[in-house]
A and B are shown apart, each in its own frame.
Chain A
Amino acid sequence: MKGVLSRLGAWVTGGVVGLGQTVNFGASVLRSAFVSPLRGRQIVAAIYDSGVLSLALLCASGATVGFVLGLQLYYTLSRFGAESSLGTAVGLALIRELGPVLTGLLVTGRAGSATCAEIGSMKATDQLDGLRMMAIDPIHFVVMPRALGIIIVMPLLSALFVIFGIGGAYLIGVELLGLDGGSYISGLESAVAFREDVLQSIVKSLIFGVLLALISTYRGYACAPNAVGVSRATTSTVVTTSVCILLADFVLTSLWGV
């Protein structure tokens, strides 16, 4: 009993300390974003790495999710004779939830793990210390551009995912199952409100971007400087970020009262 309690205690304190360190780290990354030089070249490279290279993945996944939504919702709605609201249902589901959340999870797997592993192996091979010895702050030179890159690309990729999803569902509903194209589009148009739906979707994906940027860079930066440490940090980046994104999604959705 005592052993269990003390282990629980150690686990909780460990968690709190880890959270504190992560927040602390986040603060220094944020501070470094306002230090000159701007590191424009590194930021562009980071946007390319985590954004441009994820484009194909995001488009394909978006379209696939759109196909599935089209099929599932069509059959559900047709039970109530409401097939014509397919556009509404697909649009709201994608914009409010599936777009930001699935994009967050996909980018975590694609770019978050890569970012963590890259920073971790730079640490393991003394590259970060090498920068320090040249009087270059590794947080400013390596971490900040990558974190910023992830935060910038997340809402854009999410928007792309939503567009491909809506397109995918259109293909299934209209081209395959014979719904009227006009009513699909008009249902979508009338149901989606800019402030409630689109803006909230963007804010959500921005928050997921911040979570991923923070966790993946911190885990890489703080990992044990060897191969095992890097692989542990990468795994834990994917797991922690995925759970955090799902939790944050629940909290945000309930805060906004749907």
Chain B
Amino acid sequence: MSAEGLSLSDQHSSHVEIEGVALRFGDRPVFSDLHCSFPRGKITVIMGPSGTGKSTLLRMIGGLQKPDQGCVRVAGQEIVGLSELELGRMRKQLGMLFQNGALLDSMSIFENVALPLREHGRQGEDEIRLHVRAGLEAVGLPDVDDLLPGELSGGMLRRAALARAIVSEPAVVLCDEPFSGLDPPNVSRIESLLRDLNRNLGLTLIVTSHHMASSLRMADQVLLLQEGHSISGSPQELAESRDSAIVDFMGEDGAEYLSHHVSVKEGH
């Protein structure tokens, strides 16, 4: 409900902006002149073929990867060229799920998820425990507290890492492939968790995904990355597009989404 109000008043404010970004690794360009923006309090799903720079884009928003050229702004603040200390301050409003989880091997799952709270929060031990338990339950891992990350499967690991990324309720959550390697029930669990976070807390979500169906369902905006440039629009706009590049990428899922979406609308 609060998200509705937020979206109306801040309809045009973008939380994260990328302007004229160019980046190359050696002599291989990843981005040449990338412009895109991520609206505040909305879910943006970044899609695109493997190797087009989705993970790199998220790392750039987190300040882990400096672009060769161009601007990256988070909440109005230009972050290219900030010192590591200033970046640290900026990152307190970000949470990030890495493609491979990136949990600390030497700590239990509970301690891993509790880490952001212990480092920067002012909660007492009881409150931390409550938050961590709630986070782990939300991702469907109620009884792995004392296990080490090495003792979990890939999908469990990624879900625990998602719990860590959201436990301190940061304003922007960057999720790199939250659905890959998950079974259908867990895909819908994570999908509805992300949607609830967005609705109830008004978080800005930036998600990369290959999972077309869930992406189209949850996205407010889809950003299609292709060979260094981007096309963005609502899921419906993209699904309806006649642009051959988009049609090729969306394939049958796009058509299916469209037929479902339209039939639902007609039903109303």
A-to-B contact residues, CB < 8 Å: 45, 122, 125-127, 129-137
**Contact B95 A133, beta carbon cutoff 8 Å:** yes
**Contact A129 B64, beta carbon cutoff 8 Å:** yes
Q: Give Cα A131–Cα B164 distance, bound, in whole angstroms.
A: 11
Q: List 30 A-B contacts (CB under 8 A).
A: A45-B106, A122-B104, A122-B105, A125-B100, A125-B105, A126-B99, A126-B100, A127-B102, A127-B104, A127-B105, A129-B64, A129-B102, A130-B98, A130-B103, A132-B87, A132-B88, A132-B91, A133-B62, A133-B94, A133-B96, A134-B91, A134-B115, A134-B119, A134-B164, A135-B91, A135-B119, A135-B120, A136-B88, A136-B119, A137-B88
Residues of A within 8 A of B92 (CB): 135
B115 → chain A closest CB, angstroms:
6
B116 at the interface (CB under 8 A from A): yes
B248 at the interface (CB under 8 A from A): no
Interface residues of B, dominant DSSP: mixed
Q: Which residue of B lies closest to A42 (CB)?
A: B106
Q: Which residue of A lies closest to B165 (CB)?
A: A133
- Residues facing A in B51-110 (CB within 8 A) are 59, 62, 64, 84, 87-89, 91-92, 94-96, 98-100, 102-106
Chain A to chain B: the 6 pairs with minimum beta-carbon distance, closest first: A130-B102, A126-B102, A133-B96, A135-B88, A135-B91, A126-B98
B235 → chain A closest CB, angstroms:
28
Residues of B within 8 A of A45 (CB): 106
Most buried by A among B88, B102, B120: B102
Task: From known contacts A122-B105, A135-B120, infer whether A130 and B84 are also in contact, taking CB-CB under 8 Å.
Answer: no
In the complex, which range does the number of interface residues on chain B fall in?
Answer: 20 to 34
**Contact A133 B91, beta carbon cutoff 8 Å:** yes
Q: Mark B153-180, 1 if CB is under 8 A from A, else 0.
A: 0000000000010000000000000000
Residues of A within 8 A of B62 (CB): 132-133
**Contact B105 A135, beta carbon cutoff 8 Å:** no
Q: Give Cα A95–Cα B103 distance, bound, in whole angstroms.
A: 44
Q: Give Cα A45–Cα B105 distance, bound, in whole angstroms.
A: 14
A137 → chain B closest CB, angstroms:
7
B174 → chain A closest CB, angstroms:
8
Residues of B within 8 A of A122 (CB): 104-105
Q: Which residue of B lies closest to A136 (CB)?
A: B119
Q: Which residue of A lies closest to B161 (CB)?
A: A130
Residues of B within 8 A of A126 (CB): 98-100, 102
